[in-house]
Amino acid sequence: MKIVEFCIKYPVTVFVGVILVVLFGGLAVFRLPLQMTPAVDYPQITVETRYEGAGPLEVEREVTERLEEKLNSVENLDEITSVSAEGQSTIILKFAWGVNKDIARLDASEKLDLVTDLPEDARQSVIRAVNTEEQTPIAWITIETTRDINEVWQEADAVIKPRLERIGGVGAVWMFGGQDREVHVLLDAQAMSARGITIAQVRAALLGESRNIRGGRIEEGRRQYLVRTMGEYTALRQLENVVVHYDARGPVYIRDIASVRFGYEDQDFAVRTNGTSTIGFGILKRTGANTVEVMQRLRVVLRELNTIYEDKGIRLVQAYDETVYIYDAVKLVVSNLVLGGLLATAVLLLFLRNPVSVLIISGAIPISIVSTLLFLAVLGRSLNIVTLAGLAFATGMTVDNAIVVLENIFRHRHMGKSRLKAALDGATEVWGAILAGTATTVAVFIPIIAVEGEAGQLFRDIAIAIAFGVAASLVVALTVIPMLSSRLLADGEVPARAGRLLRSLRAPLAAVDRLAAAFVGGVLGLLTWLARGWRRRVGAVGLVTAAALGLAYLLLPPLDYLPTGNRNLFLGLVKFPPGSNIEQKKAVIEDLESRLLTIPELERIFAVVRIGDSFVGAIAKREYSDLASMQRILGTIRQKGFGLPGITGAFFTQTPLFQRQSGGFIGGINLDINVKGPDLTTLQEFAERIQGRLRALPPVNFVNTSFEVGSPELQVHVDREKAAGLGISVSEVGFVAETLVNGTLAGKFRERGKELDIRLKSASGDIARTQDLSRVLFHTPAGRTVRLSDIAEVRPAVGPVNVEHIDLERAIKLVTNIREELPLETAMALVERDVVRPLRAELPIGYAIDVSGQAKDLAIAWDSIKWSFLLAVIVVYLLMCSLFESWMNPFVIMFTVPLAAAGGVLGVRLAHAIQPATRMDVLTMLGFVILTGVVVNNAILIVHQCLQFMAEGRERHAALLDSVRTRIRPIFMTTTTTVFGLLPLVVAGGAGSELYRGLGAAIVGGIVFSTVVSLVVVPAAFSLWLDVREALPAWAKRFDVADPAGRPEPPSGTGLGRPIPGSVSRQPD
């Protein structure tokens, strides 16, 4: 082979190439963004529309339904969902995977332009794209202070937040926990009544005086002056001096009917850390930014800010750091990678017992890994846990090709050839076999890389890493290995004397040799026995294959979706009864905090209290961050939150490693059960029945419903006829009620460059009780004063917090959290059997129940994996057909696939028995696809060597036995190095190991089982095929069937098509 000859002839050129690859690969490591998991680009966009002051039902009717009608015609739309809440419409458009989101946004924008009948008060819709990197904070920062929180909030908003936003790689900064400063104009109802002033007049006066007005330009000589009338408020006295009205006594100023002062907005958000009030920041990185680099810059800025505020009673503390988990996970994978490489090297030393040979082969590992890192940088991928796991898996495989080449060079050296001749002949003889093996391994990743969907994007990196690693190892095996062997292997006979270490291990090694010889003898003896009759071989091949398929089917574990990981972060959703105010919620959260602070394993507790659902989070101490301890702590947290007075539920989970489309931050196994239909009352009735049945199931932790009855309302129903007769409009009634209850915005106030809201409020708290609303006074244009009760009726009512739609239908979603030990597939079957199916039969016409969320994602992923596996089998088979120029030789080799499947299932079962967190999730399923391209390599070596011997003129059965005898050593060398290279990933626990342990178990189990059994099955099946081909001419003659060309079967070659590339016709040396 020319490339081998070139590398042997020009070693300096080869060394230069290796140095350049290592150099640029090392530089590429620093350019690869380091993050926890691959970014998932969900094919969905969000359309948000504000409609201030409208209730959920009004938002649904006036905004959401009108927008949905147009957006439903967007191309490639897979699902449209919406949530209509108070003053807000949110519509989510989910597209088929692979759709260009930019084009989808443009299409959605065009459809929104067609909506012309929205209410006048509705704001313009905003379209946002969804990306996991821009949704989840990588760090949480809190402020520890003894000063007033609202005072610190102003400083944080003006200085600290902008400084954090300027950090390189930071995309956004969330800030919450304080109240913005405002200017309050406190209206005196009696003074206004005495002067005949209405609230609308006050607001109009303030708005009219608060604008800067452009007055044109004045030309004076060579100068030009812009004339502007400055009306912005910059001092409270300016507000007090605004004229509202003129009456008989003169102008009526604001100061005559109201007092003006600084204040704060009403509190609707509070943050607490370890039982004290604080201010919180959520740090989100930009898409593609290096998480570790962003965090390093953040720490520097935090130190700078703490130095500045050291004497001001303000200290910033990093409450959560995502890079802690990243560092732990990367450290574990790297250590496993190094340990796997060392184990593979030790195995090579055990087989070869020649340090120089081991050094030559071991060089393939770093060169291949560094080359892969260079490819990843060129492709713009990131360095994450999944990618590193792929590199670790590739470690054991990268030496396979080098082993085959060097072992064959050794064989030629034992024939007495010079090292140059042995290197050339040994590499040239097997290049076709390793090319076929590498091609089949790489080929299986083509369907994997093409898989779309959330799971496909997550394990695409592992496929790319292994594929490039194995491909790079082929290049190394055909270039570096022959070159080094031609220079480093000693001339003459291979030395029999070993070093001091090997001499000290002479007795154990001799025992290993005896066991190996006994195993080889047993395999050859069994093959000899099988060769005595075709029925024996048919029975053995058929029985073993059927048993393997049956074993794989019967022992296949229940399926799961994505591993949850072991993130050191607990989050709990706390739900309150309708009508609970912020102070009541804070009191309950304080009670919950005091309970959680008694758990000694927890390092930090934080809480977010808000108008809607509140959240409580906890972080464990480092020494308790292992999986078993985290599960135990989670159980304790749930016990502490159970039965807490003043709440309707506290739902705690460990946050998932992968951001999910459904379920939000709720970790574990979640099933989304959707009840769809036209009437909310009927939907609520069935949702409550489903909720009751779900909670009765033992594996269910909790059920969270998307439908909630809102806070008690006071609805003002205006008598339009009476109001019109008095000159009062409905909008004026609503405006006055809003001003006296919550306050009304009336312009902007500028203070040191920052704008503050001006808010009209009642000075005396006129609406302190519900009865006070009916007593609100209105001034008519005729000068009369009337109460609200004279023109309207105030009725108590209760409405929904929000209204959800799925595909234009009203729906209620029940997120059901299942215990971690139950696989998703089992949970789906249980819920379908005991809940969904019985109630589905009772639904009226026009109503439906379906299961979505992770259940739907699993169905999509499983379908993709099945087709990928089938496609991988077809691609591998067709590729071998092309390489062998034969249809039947590859068919015989494919008998290894069912053996690998059975071994993979056994490996997963064994790993699950040792570590229950190991599941048959989609990453584990990937292992079975990978096995398809890996396990055929050993069979290729046997078949290829047999064809070589037959080309030399040996009898077919003797050639087959000799091929097993000569190839069993490199087969066991490649198998053991691969297995020991992967073993640390399967055995070692720690951060991130939950992702790849199942994948490793499937590959290790499949390789081991397939290697041992295929040594008998493949030769037996191949000998059957050789016998059939040998008997074909006799059968043809019996039925008078002649060769169309009248030529006999050529005696040379294989008689089964052309030899695989690299085969040579030569006499035995």
- The domain that holds 157 is classified in CATH as 3.30.70.1320
In a domain, 1043, yes or no: no
**Which residue, of 611, 626, 654, is where some domain finishes?**
654
pLDDT of residue 490: 63
Residue 166 sits in the same domain as residue 238: no
Average pLDDT over residues 396-403: 79
pLDDT band with cut points at 50, 70 and 90 for residue 109: very high
In a domain, 807, yes or no: no
Please enumerate in sequence order all residues whose Cβ is within 8 A of that of 1058, keeping only pairs 6 or more positions apart, or say none: 884, 885
pLDDT band with cut points at 50, 70 and 90 for residue 812: very high
HEC-encoded secondary structure of 370-409: HHHHHHHHHHCCCECHHHHHHHHHHHHHHCHHHHHHHHHH
Indicate the helix (H) or strand (E) that contains 617: strand 614-620
Do the Cβ atoms of 452 and 98 come closer than 8 Å? yes
Task: Select the more confidently predicted residue: 36 or 157.
Answer: 157
Distances from the Cα of 126 to the Cαs of 78, 113, 120, 136, 172, in angstroms? 21, 12, 16, 20, 18
pLDDT of residue 1044: 45
Q: What's the rounded Cα separation, in Å, for the pair 27 and 468?
A: 18
Please enumerate in sequence order all residues whose Cβ is within 8 A of that of 794, keeping only pairs 6 or more positions apart, or say none: 714, 715, 716, 717, 770, 773, 774, 788
Range of the domain at 728: 181-264+711-798
HEC-encoded secondary structure of 1007-1044: HHHHHHHHHHHHHHHHHHHHHHHHHHHHHHHHCCCCCC
pLDDT band with cut points at 50, 70 and 90 for residue 810: very high
Residue 462 sits in the same domain as residue 583: no
Average pLDDT over residues 139-162: 88
In a domain, 175, yes or no: yes
Query: Which CATH number does the domain housing residue 188 bear?
Result: 3.30.2090.10
Average pLDDT over residues 546-550: 89
Distances from the Cα of 604 to the Cαs of 57, 598, 600, in angstroms? 40, 12, 10
Q: What's the rounded Cα separation, in Å, for the pair 835 and 851?
A: 11
pLDDT of residue 1060: 45
In the structure encoding, which two tokens stand for residue 344, read together?
């593979």
Residue 82 reports pLDDT greater than 90: yes
Do the Cβ atoms of 710 and 801 come closer than 8 Å? yes
Residue 749 sits in the same domain as residue 761: yes
| CA-closest candidate to residue 169, choices 35, 309, 330, 45 | 35
In a domain, 832, yes or no: no
Residue 948 sits in the same domain as residue 1015: yes
Worst-scoring range by mean pLDDT, 154-158, 180-184, 228-232, 451-455? 228-232
Residue 164 sits in the same domain as residue 102: no
Residue 885 reports pLDDT greater than 90: no
Residue 92 reports pLDDT greater than 90: yes
Q: What's the rounded Cα separation, in Å, for the pair 134 and 172?
A: 8
Distances from the Cα of 95 to the Cαs of 39, 75, 187, 808, in angstroms? 18, 9, 52, 15
The structure's pTM equals: 0.79
Q: What's the rounded Cα separation, in Å, for the pair 606 and 277?
A: 10
Residue 373 sits in the same domain as residue 491: yes
Q: Tell me, what amino acid is at 644?
A: L
Residue 479 sits in the same domain as residue 532: no
Give residue-wise pLDDT tens across range 304-346: 999 999 888 899 999 888 888 888 888 888 887 788 778 877 8
In the structure encoding, which two tokens stand for residue 635, read together?
């159980």
What is the DSSP track for 254-285?
Answer: HHHHEEEEEEEPPP-EEEEETTEEE-EEEEEE
pLDDT band with cut points at 50, 70 and 90 for residue 673: very high
In a domain, 224, yes or no: yes
Average pLDDT over residues 530-543: 83
In a domain, 348, yes or no: no
Query: Which CATH number does the domain housing residue 68 bear?
Result: 3.30.70.1430
pLDDT band with cut points at 50, 70 and 90 for residue 1046: very low
pLDDT of residue 28: 84
Residue 982 sits in the same domain as residue 896: yes
State how many domains the chain has.
6
Average pLDDT over residues 585-606: 90
Q: What's the rounded Cα separation, in Å, for the pair 398 and 934?
A: 12
Please enumerate in sequence order all residues whose Cβ is within 8 A of that of 643, keeping only pairs 6 or more positions apart, or say none: none
Q: Tell me, what amino acid is at 22?
A: V
Instruction: Report the chain's mean pLDDT, rounded to a whole number.
Output: 82
Residue recorded with tokens 């050094």: 359
Q: Please give the share of the chain, as a percent, with pLDDT higher than 90.
A: 13
Residue 246 sits in the same domain as residue 320: no
Q: What's the rounded Cα separation, in Å, for the pair 556 and 171?
A: 44
Average pLDDT over residues 400-429: 84
pLDDT band with cut points at 50, 70 and 90 for residue 492: very low
| Overall size of the chain counted in residues | 1069
Task: Select the more confidently predicted residue: 693 or 406.
Answer: 693
| CA-closest candidate to residue 244, choices 257, 262, 228 | 257
Please enumerate in sequence order all residues whose Cβ is within 8 A of that of 829, keeping only pairs 6 or more positions apart, or say none: none
In a domain, 586, yes or no: yes
Rg of the chain over CA atoms, in angstroms?
Answer: 37
Which residues are registered as beta bridge partners of 226? 217
Residue 171 sits in the same domain as residue 199: no
Helices 454-488, 355-362: crossing angle, 10 deg rounding: 140
In the structure encoding, which two tokens stand for residue 889, read together?
């030789």
pLDDT of residue 1038: 60
**Which residue, of 768, 798, 828, is where some domain finishes?**
798
Task: Select the more confidently predicted residue: 349 or 659.
Answer: 349
CB atoms within 10 A of CB 920: 24
Q: Please give the share of the chain, as a percent, with pLDDT higher than 70.
A: 91
Q: Which residues of 789-809 are buried (b: 16+ CB within 10 A; e: fewer)?
A: ebbbebeeeebbbbbbbbebb
Q: What's the rounded Cα separation, in Å, for the pair 630 and 620?
A: 8
In the structure encoding, which two tokens stand for residue 586, read together?
């804070």
In a domain, 821, yes or no: no
Q: Phi, psi at residue 242, to the nearest 5°?
A: -70, 135
Average pLDDT over residues 183-206: 84
170-176, strands of its sheet edge to edge: 170-176, 280-285, 139-145, 314-321
Task: Select the more confidently predicted residue: 168 or 1044.
Answer: 168
Chain-centroid distance of CA 636 in Å reads 28
What is the DSSP pairing of strand 258-264 with strand 181-187? Answer: antiparallel
Residue 54 sits in the same domain as residue 123: yes
Residue recorded with tokens 């804070």: 586
DSSP letter (8 states) at residue 275:
T
Q: Phi, psi at residue 695, to the nearest 5°?
A: -65, -20
pLDDT band with cut points at 50, 70 and 90 for residue 133: low
pLDDT of residue 996: 81
Helices 2-9, 419-443: crossing angle, 10 deg rounding: 130
Residue 805 reports pLDDT greater than 50: yes
Residue 543 reports pLDDT greater than 80: yes
Average pLDDT over residues 430-440: 82
Residue recorded with tokens 């594996």: 699
pLDDT of residue 1: 66
Residue 140 reports pLDDT greater than 50: yes
Please enumerate in sequence order all residues whose Cβ is within 8 A of that of 541, keeping only pairs 6 or more positions apart, or say none: 895, 1017, 1020, 1021, 1024
Worst-scoring range by mean pLDDT, 394-398, 551-555, 593-597, 858-862? 394-398
Give residue-wise pLDDT tens across range 455-481: 777 778 888 888 888 889 899 988 998
pLDDT of residue 81: 93
Task: Select the more confidently predicted residue: 671 or 994.
Answer: 671
DSSP-derived 3-state class of residue 290: coil
pLDDT of residue 163: 93
Residue 361 sits in the same domain as residue 442: yes
CA dihedral 974, 947, 409, 367 (to 10 degrees): -50
Query: For 772, what's the count of Cα atoms within 13 Å in the CB-facing half-sphere?
Result: 10
| CA-closest candidate to residue 880, choices 870, 893, 868, 869 | 893
Residue 219 reports pLDDT greater than 80: no
Helix, strand, coil abundance in the chain, percent, nearest 5? 55, 20, 25
Indicate the helix (H) or strand (E) that contains 703: strand 700-705
Q: Where are the beta strands (DSSP E) in 146-204?
A: 170-176, 181-187
Do the Cβ atoms of 708 and 687 come closer than 8 Å? no
Separate counts of helices (H) and strands (E) for the chain: 38, 31
Chain-centroid distance of CA 102 in Å reads 22
pLDDT of residue 693: 92
Chain-centroid distance of CA 873 in Å reads 28
pLDDT band with cut points at 50, 70 and 90 for residue 435: confident
Give residue-wise pLDDT tens across range 33-69: 887 778 777 888 999 998 877 788 889 999 999 999 9
Distances from the Cα of 700 to the Cαs of 244, 606, 782, in angstroms? 63, 26, 65
Do the Cβ atoms of 652 and 701 come closer than 8 Å? no
